[in-house]
Amino acid sequence: MTEVIEKNREDEALSSTSGYIISIDNLNKWFGDFHVLKDVNLTVAKGERIVICGPSGSGKSTLIRCINRLEKHQKGTINVMGNELTENTKDVSAIRQEVGMVFQSFNLFPHLNILQNLTLAPVWIRKMSQKEAEKIAWQYLKRVNIAEHALKFPSQLSGGQQQRAAIARSLCMQPKIMLFDEPTSALDPEMVNEVLDVMVKLAEEGMTMICVTHEMGFARRVADHVIFMDEGRIVERQVPGKFFSNPENERTKEFLKQIHAIS
Amino acid sequence: MKLNKIRKDYFNTPLNALMTLVMIYLIARFAWWFLNWAILDAVWIADTKDQALESGRGGAAWAFIINKLRFFIFGFYPKDEIWRIYVTFFTIVLSFIPYFIKGIRHKVIIFLAHIIIWPVLIFAFMGQVSTNDWGGLSLTFILSLLGLLYSFPIGMLLALGRRSSWPIIRGLSVAYIEFFRGIPLITILFMSSVVVPFFLPSQVAVDKIVRVVIGMTFFQSAYLAEVIRGGLQAIPKGQYEASDALGFRFGLQTYLVIMPQVLKVTISNIGGISISFIKDTTLVLIIGMFDLLGIVNPLASDSNWLGMEPEGLIFAGMVYWIICFAISRLTSRAEAKMNELPDVGVIK
Ligand SMILES: Nc1ncnc2c1ncn2[C@@H]1O[C@H](COP(=O)(O)OP(=O)(O)OP(=O)(O)O)[C@@H](O)[C@H]1O
Ligand SMILES: [Mg+2]
């Protein structure tokens, strides 16, 4: 725990230069001819929790994948913890180590058991001893409530358990930012809450989070800001109260109506 | 149930019934004849072919194999030096032990050690005897082991190279793979044994067996590369993304995340292709090397044992079959073991 606190101090020093832990300025991205992100501006302060929603194909995944450079952008700047992501960024992996990512399809390593999934990166990248890495892994396994399945392989777990394990795997690297790309949309409805609970807890602990999700209950509860994207643009950024009760943009209203119609 | 099925499948029409009976008769006749030849009438102890003919009743003269067993196994390696072969193979077998020790994390280092130690052992230690005298089963093993040892890592690199985003690397890999897959192994062996020395300055004498191993490695690594590429294509994109996102760089990602999964999906193909590589080593008889198959002819030209090729060939065939069958069983065991999930309940 003391380590975590120390880490947080470091972050403050880091982000105090720009004031933001992530700042995206005039971001444009193309897939071939297809202009997928258009003039996106986004700043995230340390400890801020942002929920991104919007229709399918609006570029939500692409945007957050640009933040840890799983996608390359062609125009504009992305600055993560004081490092600008460019073609010349020497060590993308050093930045990725500080930015956890959780995927829709879990992507646990199927040839390793859950405990090994959690210790792999700390041992090989952070150069922790196996023992130390396991100690941290057990902490997070308990936090996400799957310690009892630690020695099983991913295929032996339910979707909800796998996703919680995947979150724990990211947390074991003790990242400063967590990105979530629709973490619950591949899950059976009865498993959604167990994953959301873990995310809520994480948010309450002060993690900087960007979540692409359509779980509006979650957004209402934890988000500092909700962002609505449409056709590659950020159309609206609001605090949740305003976003849900009185959005400014027509398309946001339309989208919220559809969401309500479904749920 | 069973009987019904047999009746339905083999005796459903008069013609089928007749054919079934004829086939059973022919198979039984042949089996009976072979049983007599190979076992009941066989001669196990004799010093020459004539002795075998006198004592036997026209069966196989296995005495030939028993008399020449040393040559079948060690070729023309001098009797007093054979301990070198024993030591070499014993050490090679021992060198597999570290793979099975649980605590060792860097299995790749053991593999690199093999890449260096095996050839040193083989060429410096066994090589005290001229390689011209090597032969028999031990030569077959040496060619197979060295060929596989080198073609594995090269095949992996080629497979990765073929998927590289760097055009030069990709182009070279594709060129290599397609070139060596496009020419018959025998051509490669001829090239390495006849053409290569022709171009080398006469002071540089590269041993014949080294040249053969190099030639076989070129050929086999190209095939292995394609098998491994197939495995790479089977790995979901999410595995790359998840490990990228954790901060893995290419090398560790490949070693820890991708290759273990590739080996798992390709192990039966790799086993199959290894079997065909082992069988392919018999081609060296064409360039005058006496491996297990190649040695049958010189042994059957011994004036005491003229015309013993049938026994020799059948024996060699059986040994190949046993080796290949063992590998096939081993790989399916390994595959089953890899896919086995532990039966752990909830802990605590
Ligand atoms: N690698 C790619 N190559 C080409 N086009 C792509 C690629 N990835 C995404 N796209 C396109 O970019 C657009 C935005 O994709 P993105 O995945 O960011 O949408 P999204 O908002 O996350 O949608 P969803 O809610 O369906 O996940 C889509 O039209 C998609 O087809
Ligand atoms: Mg998406």
Domain range enclosing B7: 1-40
* Other beta carbons less than 10 A from residue A117's beta carbon: 26
**CA proximity to A182, closest of A214, A152, A135, A159:** A214
Instruction: Evaluate: CB of A213 within 6 angstroms of ligand 1.
Output: no
Test B242 with A121 for CB contact under 8 angstroms.
no
Exposed/middle/buried for residue B59 (C-beta within 10 Å: 0-12, 13-18, 19+): middle
Domain check: are B90 and B33 in the same one? no
**CA proximity to A141, closest of A121, A127, A162, A124:** A162
Q: Does A101 touch chain B (CB under 8 A)?
A: yes
**Range B1-8 contact pairs with CB under 8 angstroms and sequence separation of 24 or more:** none
Domain check: are B60 and B194 in the same one? yes
Q: Ligand 2: distance of its center to the CA of A66 in Å?
A: 12
Q: Is residue A117 predicted with pLDDT exceeding 70?
A: yes
Helix (H) or strand (E) holding B73: helix B63-74
Which pLDDT score, from 0 to 100, does residue A219 have?
93
Q: Does A138 touch chain B (CB under 8 A)?
A: no
**CA proximity to A252, closest of A112, A53, A18:** A53
Backbone angles phi, psi at A22, to 5 degrees: -130, 130
Q: In Å, how far is A138's CA from the nearest CA of chain B?
A: 12
For ligand 2, a single-atom ion, the residues with CB < 5 A are A 61
Domain check: are B18 and B57 in the same one? no
Which pLDDT score, from 0 to 100, does residue B179 have?
96
Which residues are CB-neighbours of B154 under 8 A, at least 6 positions away?
Answer: B217, B221, B224, B225
**Which residue in B245, B260, B346 is closest to A70 by CB distance?**
B245
Residue B298 lies in a domain: yes
pLDDT band at A16; cut points 50, 70, 90: very low
**CA proximity to A36, closest of A3, A60, A9:** A60
Residue B100 lies in a domain: yes
Give, in degrees to the nearest 5, the angle at Cα B329 between B323 and B335.
135
Instruction: Evaluate: CB of A154 within 6 angstroms of ligand 1.
Output: no
Give, in degrees to the nearest 5, the angle at Cα B160 between B159 and B166.
125
> Of the given ranges (A42-51, A151-160, B49-58), which has the lowest mean pLDDT?
B49-58
Instruction: Evaluate: CB of A56 within 6 angstroms of ligand 1.
Output: yes
Which pLDDT score, from 0 to 100, does residue A86 have?
86
Domain check: are B64 and B112 in the same one? yes
Whose Cα sits closest to atom 29 in ligand 1?
A: A57
- Which amino acid appears at position A111 of this protein? H
Angle between helical axes of B63-74 and B82-94 (0-180°, round to 10): 70
Q: Ligand 2: distance of its center to the CA of A53 in Å?
A: 10
Residue B91 lies in a domain: yes
Instruction: Evaluate: CB of A232 within 6 angstroms of ligand 1.
Output: no
**Which residue in B244, B341, B346 is closest to A153 by CB distance?**
B341
**Which positions 112-131 of A are in contact with B (Cβ < 8 Å)?**
113, 120-121, 124-125
Residue B128 lies in a domain: yes
Domain check: are B89 and B103 in the same one? yes
Q: In Å, how far is B343's CA from the nearest CA of chain A?
A: 8
Domain check: are B35 and B162 in the same one? no
Domain check: are B200 and B334 in the same one? yes
Bridge partners of residue B131, in order along the sequence: none
Q: Does A149 touch chain B (CB under 8 A)?
A: yes
Which pLDDT score, from 0 to 100, does residue B329 have?
95
Which pLDDT score, from 0 to 100, does residue B347 have?
67
**CA proximity to B211, closest of B289, B301, B100:** B289
* Structural domains in chain B (count): 2
Average pLDDT of the residues in A66-90? 89
What residue has token string 């040892």? B149
Domain check: are B123 and B264 in the same one? yes
Q: Is residue A248 predicted with pLDDT exceeding 60?
A: yes
**Which residue in A96, A111, A120 is closest to B264 by CB distance?**
A111
Domain check: are B277 and B309 in the same one? yes
* Other beta carbons less than 10 A from residue B322's beta carbon: 10
Q: Would you put residue A85 in left (φ > 0), alpha (ψ -120 to 50) or beta?
A: beta
Q: Does B104 touch chain A (CB under 8 A)?
A: no
Residue B345 lies in a domain: no
Q: What is the CATH number of the domain that holds B142?
A: 1.10.3720.10
Residue B24 lies in a domain: yes
Backbone angles phi, psi at B248, to 5 degrees: -70, 140
Strand order in the sheet with A83-84: A34-44, A22-31, A75-80, A83-84
Domain check: are B51 and B15 in the same one? no
The pTM of this model reads: 0.88
Q: Yes or no: say if B238 and A109 are a contact pair by the CB < 8 Å rule.
A: no
Average pLDDT of the residues in A186-209? 94
Among residues B40, B56, B71, which one ends one of the domains?
Answer: B40
pLDDT band at A39; cut points 50, 70, 90: very high
Domain check: are B35 and B55 in the same one? no
Residue B70 lies in a domain: yes
**Inter-chain Cβ pairs, chain A and chain B, closer than 8 A:** 79
Q: Is residue A127 predicted with pLDDT exceeding 90?
A: yes
Q: Yes or no: say if B43 and B58 are a contact pair by the CB < 8 Å rule.
A: no
Q: Is residue A1 predicted with pLDDT exceeding 80?
A: no
Distance of CA B82 to the CA centre of its chain: 23
Average pLDDT of the residues in A107-126? 96
Q: What is the mean pLDDT of chain A?
A: 90
Instruction: Evaluate: CB of A60 within 6 angstroms of ligand 1.
Output: yes
**Which positions 243-282 of B are in contact with A (Cβ < 8 Å)?**
243-249, 252, 256-257, 260-261, 264
HSE-CB at B321 with a 13 A cutoff on CA atoms is 6
Residue B104 lies in a domain: yes
Q: Ligand 2: distance of its center to the CA of A62 in Å?
A: 7
Q: Yes or no: say if B68 and B301 are a contact pair by the CB < 8 Å rule.
A: no
Domain check: are B281 and B206 in the same one? yes
pLDDT tens per residue across all 348 residues of chain B = 678 888 888 888 888 889 999 999 999 999 999 999 888 888 888 888 888 888 767 788 898 999 999 999 999 999 999 999 999 999 999 998 888 887 767 788 888 999 999 999 998 898 888 888 999 999 999 999 999 999 999 999 999 999 999 999 999 999 999 999 999 999 999 888 887 777 777 766 778 888 899 999 999 999 999 999 999 999 999 999 999 999 999 999 999 999 999 999 999 999 999 999 999 999 998 888 899 999 999 999 988 888 889 999 999 999 999 999 999 999 999 999 888 887 776 666
**3-state SS record for B182-215:** HCCHHHHHHHHHHHHHHHCCCCCCCCHHHHHHHH
Instruction: Evaluate: CB of A109 within 6 angstroms of ligand 1.
Output: no
Q: What ipTM was estimated for this complex?
A: 0.91
Q: Ligand 1: distance of its center to the CA of A53 in Å?
A: 14
Q: Is residue A43 predicted with pLDDT exceeding 70?
A: yes
Output DSSP code: residue B129: S
